[in-house]
Amino acid sequence: MSSRPTVVACLFASILALPAIAQELPSALSIPNTTSAINSSTPMSQRVVHYEIEAKYDPKSHTLDATEILTYHNLTGQAQDTFPFHLYLNGFQPKSTWMRESRRDGTRDSLAQTWESKDNGADEIRRFEVVGQGDLTAQLQFTHPDDDNRDDKSVVQVHLPKPIPPDGYVQFKIAFHDQFPETLARTGWKRDFLLGGQWFPKVGVWWNGAWNCHQFHGATEFFADFGVYDVKITVPQNQVVGGSGIEISNVNNQDGTRTITFHGDDIHDFAWTASPHYITYADTYQGNMGPIKLTMLMQPAHASQEERHVRILKQTIDRCERWYGPYPYKTLTLVDPERDSAAEGMEYQTFITGGTSWWMPEGLYLPEGVVAHEFGHQYWYGMVATNEFEDAWMDEGINTYTEIKVLDDVLGASTSALNLRGTTLSDRQLTRGEYAMVADIDPVARNGWQYANDNSYVGATYGKTGSLLLTLEGIIGEDTLQRAMHVYFMRYRFTHPTKEDFLKTIEEVSGKDLRWFFNQAIYGTEVLDYEVLKVDSSPVDWYKENFEEKKGERTYQSEVVIHRKGEFVMPVEIAIIFDNGDKVRERWNGQDRWIRFTYEKKAKVASVEIDPDHKIYLDRNNFNNSYVLEANGKAASKLNNYWTFLTQMFSQLLAWWMV
Amino acid sequence: MNQRQNILSNGWAIVRRNKQYVIWFYLLNLALAWMGARTFRQQAGHVLDHSLYSNGLVQGFDLGVFTEMLARPEFGPVRATTIPAMGLAVIFMLLTMIFVPGVFLGYASDHRISREEFFRSCGENLWRFVRLMILFGIVGGMVAGVLFGIQHVLVEAASASSNETLSFYVQLACLTVIFVIMTAIRIWFDLAETDVVLADQNAVRKSLGMALRQIRQNPARLLGAYVAVSVAGATILTAGIWLWYTIVPPASVLGAFLVSQATLFLLLAMRFWQRATAVAFYTGSKLEQAITIPVAASQPFPSPSAAQPAGM
Q: Is residue A658 part of a domain?
A: no
Mean pLDDT score, B204-226: 95
Does B164 reach chain A within 8 Å, measured CB to CB? yes
Residues in chain A: 659
Confidence band for B184, pLDDT divided at 50, 70 and 90: very high
* Averaged pLDDT for residues B131-137: 97
**CB within 8 Å: B168 and A358:** yes
- Report how far apart, in Å, the C-alpha atoms of A31 and of each of A3, A4, A433, B3, B269 are: 13, 14, 46, 92, 79
Query: Is B302 a domain residue?
Result: no
Query: What pLDDT is recorded for position A23?
Result: 43
pLDDT for B251: 86
Total count of domains within chain A: 3
- In Å, how far is A437's CA from the nearest CA of chain B? 8
| Chain A residues with CB-CB distance to B138 below 8 A | none
Judged by CB atoms closer than 8 Å, whether chains meet at B29 and A651 is answered as yes
Concatenate the DSSP letters of all residues of A124-193 into one string.
Answer: EEEEEEETTTEE-GGG-EE--SSS--TT--SEEEEEEEEEEPTT-EEEEEEEEEEEPPBSBTTBEEETTE
Whether A574 and A560 have beta carbons less than 8 Å apart is answered as yes
For residue A400, which of A358, A356, A434, A423 has the smallest C-alpha distance? A434
Residue of chain A whose Cα is closest to the Cα of B244: A421
Residues A460 and A586 reside in one and the same domain: no
In a domain, A358, yes or no: no
**Mean pLDDT, rounded, for A624-647:** 95
Q: Is A532 exposed, middle or buried (0-12, 13-18, 19+ CB in 10 A)?
A: buried
More confident residue, A537 or B306: A537
Average pLDDT in chain B: 91
Chain A CB contacts of B186 under 8 Å are: 657
Closest CA–CA distance from residue A57 to any residue of chain B (Å): 20
Angle among Cα A95, A101, A106 to the nearest 5 degrees reads 130
The predicted-structure confidence for A110-161, as pLDDT tens digits, reads as follows 787 788 999 999 999 999 999 999 999 999 999 999 998 999 999 999 999 9
* Strand stretches in A299-360, DSSP E: 331-335, 346-348, 351-353
Query: How much is the CA Rg of chain A, to the nearest whole Å?
Result: 29
Dist. CA A655–CA B268, nearest whole Å:
10
Neighbours of A658 (CB within 10 A): 17
Residue B306 in domain = no
Residue A114 lies in a domain: yes
pLDDT at A5: 41
pLDDT surpassing 70 at residue A19: no
A614–chain B nearest CA distance, Å:
10
Q: Is pLDDT above 90 for B6?
A: no
Question: For residue range A376-386, what is the model confidence (pLDDT) as tens digits?
Answer: 999 999 999 99
The CB-side HSE value for B13 (13 A sphere, CA atoms) comes to 10
Residue B2 parent element (H or E): none
Residue of B nearest to A652 (CA): B268
Is the CB of A118 inside 8 Å of chain B's CB atoms? no
CB–CB contact A648 B41 (8 Å): no
For residue A215, the enclosing domain spans 1-263
Q: Report CB contact under 8 Å: B71, A436.
A: yes
Residues A560-570 pLDDT 10s = 999 999 999 99
* pLDDT confidence of residue A16: 42
CB contact under 8 A, A339 and B164: yes
Q: How many domains does chain B have?
A: 1
CA A426 to chain centroid: 18
Interface of B with A in 240-269 (CB under 8 A): 245-246, 250-251, 253, 256-257, 260-261, 264, 267-268
| CB within 8 Å of A313: residues ≥ 6 apart | A285, A294, A332, A334, A371, A375
- Is the domain of A509 the same as that of A490? yes
On whether residue B305 sits in a domain, the answer given is no
Question: Is residue B296 predicted with pLDDT exceeding 90?
Answer: no
The arithmetic mean of pLDDT across residues A63-82, rounded, is 98
Cα–Cα separations (whole angstroms), residue B302 to A383, B105, B288: 90, 13, 13
Shared domain check, A558 and A418: no
Given pLDDT bands bounded at 50, 70 and 90, which one contains residue B289? confident
CA A193-A194-A200 angle, 5° bins: 170
Q: Is A455 near chain B, with CB under 8 Å?
A: no
Same domain, A50 and A162: yes
Instruction: Note the pLDDT of residue A27.
Output: 55
Four-point Cα dihedral B144, B149, B151, B156, nearest 10: 160
Contact (CB<8Å) A624/B68: no
Q: Tell whether A423 and A481 lie within a shared domain.
A: yes
Residue of chain A with shortest Cα separation from B60: A422
**Bridge-based pairing state of the strands A346-348 and A418-420:** unpaired
Of the candidates A101, A173, A170, which has an alpha carbon nearest to the alpha carbon of residue A135? A173
CA torsion sign, A411 to A412 to A413 to A414?
negative
Average pLDDT (A641-658) is 94
With CA atoms as reference, report the closest residue to A107 among A456, A625, A542: A456
CA-based nearest residue to A445, from A486, A493, A405, A500: A500
pLDDT-based confidence at residue A12 (cuts at 50, 70, 90):
very low
Q: Please calculate the CA angle A628-A633-A636 and round it to the nearest 5 degrees.
A: 120
Alpha-carbon span A43 to A25, nearest angstrom: 25
The CA–CA distances, whole Å, from B282 to B131, B195, B207, B220 equal 21, 8, 12, 15
Q: Which of A209, A239, A263 is the last residue of a domain?
A: A263
Task: Please enumerate, as own/partner, the contacts of A510-519 that have beta carbons within 8 Å and a separation of 24 or more.
Answer: A510/A476, A510/A477, A510/A480, A510/A481, A510/A484, A512/A475, A512/A476, A514/A472, A514/A475, A514/A476, A516/A569, A517/A468, A517/A472, A517/A475, A517/A570
Q: Does residue A362 lie in a domain region?
A: no
Residues of chain A numbered 338-377 and touching chain B (CB < 8 Å): 338-340, 357-359
Pairwise CB contact (< 8 Å): A423 & B60: yes
Are the CB atoms for A174 and A125 separated by under 8 Å? yes
If asked whether residues A58 and A201 sit together in one domain, one would say yes
Condensed to tens digits (0 to 9), the pLDDT of residues B66-103 reads: 999 999 999 999 889 899 989 999 999 999 999 999 99
Inter-chain CB proximity A624 and B51 less than 8 Å: yes
State mean pLDDT over B42-46: 94
Which domain CATH number covers A449? 1.10.390.10
3-state secondary structure A26-64: HHHCCCCCCCCCECCCCCCCCCCEEEEEEEEEECCCCEE
On whether both A167 and A48 belong to a single domain, the answer is yes
Which CATH number does the domain housing residue A256 bear? Answer: 2.60.40.1730
pLDDT-derived band of residue B5, with 50, 70 and 90 as boundaries? low
Is there a contact between B192 and B133 (Cβ–Cβ < 8 Å)? Answer: no
**Which of A233, A263, A293 corresponds to the end of one domain?**
A263
How many percent of chain B have pLDDT more than 70?
A: 91
Chain B residues within 8 A of A424 when measuring between CB atoms: 60-64
Cβ-Cβ contacts under 8 Å, A432 against chain B: 64
Determine the Cα–Cα distance for residues A604 and A606; give it in Å rounded to an integer: 6
Q: Does B239 map to a domain?
A: yes
Question: Is A569 domain-assigned?
Answer: yes
Rounded average pLDDT over B129-145: 97
Which of A564, A468, A485, A484 shows the shortest CA–CA distance to A520? A468
* Cα-based angle A281, A282, A285 (whole degrees, multiple of 5): 140
Q: What is the percent of chain A where pLDDT is above 90?
A: 91
* Helix-strand-coil split of chain B, %, nearest 5: 80, 0, 15
Whole-angstrom CA distances from A350 to A135, A243, A289, A330, A375 are: 34, 8, 15, 9, 9
Give the minimum alpha-carbon distance from B165 to chain A in angstroms, rounded to a whole number. Answer: 7
Please report residues of A whose CB lies closer than 8 A to that of B194. none
Q: Is the dihedral of CA A489, A491, A493, A498 positive or negative?
A: negative
What burial letters (b/e) apply to A247-279, b meaning 16+ CB within 10 Å? bbeeeeeeeebbbbbbbbbbbbbbbbbbbebbe
Whole-number percent of chain A with pLDDT over 70: 95
Pick from A490-499, A634-643, B211-220, B282-291: least confident: B282-291
A233 and A106 together in one domain: yes
User: Quick one: pLDDT at residue B200?
Assistant: 95
Residues B307 and B198: their CA atoms lie apart, in Å, by 7
Query: Does residue B232 belong to the interface with chain A, where contact is any CB pair within 8 Å?
Result: no
Q: Is residue B190 situated within a structural domain?
A: yes
Q: Tell me if A23 sits within 8 A of A232, measured CB to CB.
A: no
Least confident range from A247-251, A483-487, B48-52, B295-299: namely: B295-299
Residues A599, A469 share a domain: no
The answer to the question of residue A344 being in a domain is no
Rounded distance, CA A387 to CA A224, Å?
8
Strands (E), A351-495: 351-353, 418-420, 423-425
Instruction: Give tens-digit pLDDT for A278-336.
Output: 999 999 999 999 999 999 999 999 999 999 999 999 999 999 999 999 999 999 999 99
Size (chain B), residues: 312
Which domain CATH number covers A576?
Answer: 2.60.40
Structural domain containing residue B270: 3-297
* Cβ neighbours of B37 in A, within 8 Å: 640, 643-644, 647
Residues 6+ apart with CB under 8 A from B280: B3, B6, B7, B10, B11, B14
Contact: B88, A647; criterion CB under 8 Å? yes
Q: What are the distances in angstroms from CA B281 to CA A214, B127, B189, B215, B226? A: 76, 24, 13, 11, 12
> Cβ distance A125 to A156 under 8 Å?
yes
Question: Is B133 in contact with A436 (Cβ distance < 8 A)?
Answer: no
Name the 3-class secondary structure at A78. Answer: coil
Residue A594 confidence (pLDDT): 98
Query: How many CA within 13 A on the CB side of residue A238?
Result: 7
pLDDT given at position B245: 87
> Which residues are A623's β-sheet partners?
none
d(CA B85, CA B92): 11
Amino acid at A117: S
Mean pLDDT, all residues of chain A: 94
pLDDT tens-place string over residues B257-278: 999 999 999 999 999 999 999 9
Supply the pLDDT for residue B295: 47
B311 part of a folded domain? no
CA of A109 vs chain B CAs: smallest distance (Å): 18
Residue type, A344: E
Tell which of A203, A232, A263 closes a domain. A263
Distances (CA, A) of A611 to A341, A411, A626, B53: 42, 25, 9, 12
Q: Is B307 within a domain? A: no
CB pairs under 8 A between A and B: 199
Tell me the one-letter amino acid at A543: Y
Residue by residue, DSSP assigns B16-49 as HHTHHHHHHHHHHHHHHHHHHHHHHHHHHHHHHT
Determine which of B40, B51, B133 to mutate to test the interface with A (most A C-beta atoms within 10 Å).
B51
User: Does some domain include residue A325?
Assistant: no
- Is A238 within 8 Å of chain B by CB? no
Helix (H, G, I), strand (E, B) or coil at A343: coil
Phi-psi region of A539 (alpha: psi -120 to 50; beta: other; left: phi over 0): beta
Overall average pLDDT of the A430-452 stretch: 96
Q: In this structure, is residue A641 part of a structural domain?
A: no
